[in-house]
């Protein structure tokens, strides 16, 4: 059976264009369709080898504008293709700004069976397609090599030749081509000349603590979870304002993730407000604003606020949204 690699376009800088080839920052993201990106890449034929491409544009946005409706649409298309026996793997072209969030979201909602032997690979670019030296074409070829690799499985990201797992990947630089890290976990591997060199075996799709079926996701309804940060001089004012009765027609806040300082520590005034709203039924989760490492439980003050199990604030927010969604469906 001729196997397929599916390309899903979401927009981003990889599909961006600028007026000048020397301008790598003043560009418009999401200007070219994924079909155009592929047809501008003759080398793709070699990397695809005997795989046939299937191409679909799911969204066309700057990923700073990513939201729940686009995630619902993407998850449903990915699940559809993953279930087809002739699909070998998927490549998603995406903006870098929220790539780590989309990867994490997909890793929690896609059916584990679908990911057991197939990879969903997100890729991106830091420079627009019109750049004198764009990084998108190589990233795209690397993504195809990864999606076809025999040991690849689960939701992965590849950028600048480095392979990251959805749980660990994080954008840490606003400009460099190698803008992502996997923090303490380290990368899973590297793509070199079209071959993947694993430094860690690709982990099996992790069993996630909550199961939200794709069919349960609705673009119109999602639990509102906000993120607040601790810093010198933080007060409880933002939390109290967020959790005040919502004006007619707007969703009330169901959860708050606090990006704490250091080991998840929180200013006493902010902590008092968080305890207060937690007592009123708002779910509160404590993460750290540190880019690396995770809250080490048991040693930190504020033990009354559950910690994020090693998730960054943005990923803890997604986990909490999905948890709230799952608990709604249990009634």
Nearer to ligand ASP, 35 or 62 (CB): 62
Of 5, 7, 8, 12, the residue at the interface with ligand ASP (CB under 6 A) is 12
Of 22, 43, 52, 64, the residue at the interface with ligand ASP (CB under 6 A) is 64
Q: Are 163 and 191 in contact (CB under 8 A)?
A: yes
CB atoms within 10 A of CB 168: 23
Of 23, 62, 276, 309, the residue at the interface with ligand ASP (CB under 6 A) is 62
Tell me which stretch binds ligand ASP (CB under 6 A): 93-101, 200-208, 221-229, 297-305: 93-101
Tell me which stretch binds ligand ASP (CB under 6 A): 58-66, 236-244, 274-282, 294-302: 58-66
**Shortest distance, position 298 Cβ to ligand ASP, whole Å:** 37
**Shortest distance, position 276 Cβ to ligand ASP, whole Å:** 36
Of 13, 130, 162, 288, which is the active-site residue? 13
Give yes or no for residue 29 binding ligand ASP (CB under 6 A): yes
Residue 261 is a catalytic residue: no
Interface with ligand ASP: number of residues (CB under 6 A): 11
Q: Are 292 and 179 in contact (CB under 8 A)?
A: no
Nearer to ligand ASP, 143 or 258 (CB): 143
Tell me which stretch binds ligand ASP (CB under 6 A): 57-65, 154-162, 194-202, 206-214: 57-65
Give yes or no for residue 138 binding ligand ASP (CB under 6 A): no
Question: Using CA atoms, how far apart are residues 50 and 54, in angstroms rounded to an integer?
Answer: 13
The sign of the dihedral angle between the CA atoms of 60, 187, 107, 48 is positive
Distances (CA, A) of 11 to 71, 79, 124, 139: 13, 20, 9, 14
Mapped onto helix, strand or coil, the DSSP state of residue 277 is helix
Q: Are 77 and 114 in contact (CB under 8 A)?
A: no
Packed helices 99-109 and 313-329: angle between N→C axes, nearest 10 degrees: 30
CB atoms within 10 A of CB 253: 19
Give yes or no for residue 9 binding ligand ASP (CB under 6 A): no
Question: Using CA atoms, how far apart are residues 188 and 102, in angstroms rounded to an integer?
Answer: 18
Give yes or no for residue 126 binding ligand ASP (CB under 6 A): yes
**Shortest distance, position 155 Cβ to ligand ASP, whole Å:** 18
Question: Using CA atoms, how far apart are residues 208 and 221, in angstroms rounded to an integer?
Answer: 21
Give yes or no for residue 13 binding ligand ASP (CB under 6 A): yes
**Shortest distance, position 99 Cβ to ligand ASP, whole Å:** 7
**Shortest distance, position 46 Cβ to ligand ASP, whole Å:** 26
DSSP single-letter state for residue 13: G
Give yes or no for residue 96 binding ligand ASP (CB under 6 A): yes
Enter the tokens of residue 173: 């630089």
Give yes or no for residue 135 binding ligand ASP (CB under 6 A): no
Q: Are 121 and 91 in contact (CB under 8 A)?
A: yes
Give yes or no for residue 176 binding ligand ASP (CB under 6 A): no
Q: Are 167 and 160 in contact (CB under 8 A)?
A: no
Rg of the chain over all Cα atoms, to the nearest angstrom:
20
Give yes or no for residue 163 binding ligand ASP (CB under 6 A): no
Question: Using CA atoms, how far apart are residues 206 and 315, in angstroms rounded to an integer?
Answer: 15
Write out the residues near ligand ASP by the rule CB under 6 A.
12-13, 29, 62-64, 95-97, 124, 126
Show which residues are catalytic: 13
């Amino acid at each position: 059976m001729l196997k397929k690699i599916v390309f899903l376009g979401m927009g981003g800088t990889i599909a961006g264009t600028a007026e000048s080839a020397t301008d790598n920052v003043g560009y418009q993201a999401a200007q070219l369709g994924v079909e155009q990106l592929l047809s501008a890449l003759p080398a793709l034929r070699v990397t695809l080898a005997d795989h046939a491409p299937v191409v679909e544009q799911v969204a066309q946005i700057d990923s700073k504008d990513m939201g729940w409706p686009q995630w619902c649409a993407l998850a449903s298309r990915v699940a559809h293709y993953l279930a087809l026996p002739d699909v070998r793997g998927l490549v998603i072209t995406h903006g870098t700004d929220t790539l780590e969030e989309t990867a994490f979201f997909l890793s929690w909602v896609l059916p584990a069976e679908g990911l057991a032997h197939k990879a969903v690979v997100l890729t991106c670019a830091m420079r627009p397609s019109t750049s004198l030296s764009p990084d998108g074409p190589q990233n795209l070829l690397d993504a195809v090599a990864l999606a076809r690799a025999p040991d690849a499985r689960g939701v992965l990201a590849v950028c600048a030749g480095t392979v990251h797992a959805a749980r660990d990947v994080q954008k840490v630089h606003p400009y460099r081509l190698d803008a992502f890290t996997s923090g303490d976990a380290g990368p899973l591997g590297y793509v070199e000349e079209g071959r993947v060199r694993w430094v860690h075996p690709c982990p099996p799709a992790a069993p996630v603590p909550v199961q939200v079926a794709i069919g349960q996701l609705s673009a119109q309804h999602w639990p509102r979870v906000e993120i607040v940060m601790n810093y010198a001089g933080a007060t409880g004012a933002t939390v109290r304002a967020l959790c005040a009765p919502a004006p007619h027609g707007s969703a009330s806040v169901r959860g708050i993730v606090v990006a704490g300082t250091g080991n998840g520590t929180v200013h006493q005034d902010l902590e008092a407000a968080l305890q207060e709203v937690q007592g009123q039924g708002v779910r509160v989760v404590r993460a750290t604003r540190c880019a690396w490492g995770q809250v080490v439980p048991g040693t930190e003050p504020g033990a009354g606020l559950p910690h994020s199990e090693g998730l960054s604030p943005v990923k803890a927010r997604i986990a909490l949204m999905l948890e709230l969604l799952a608990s709604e469906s249990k009634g």
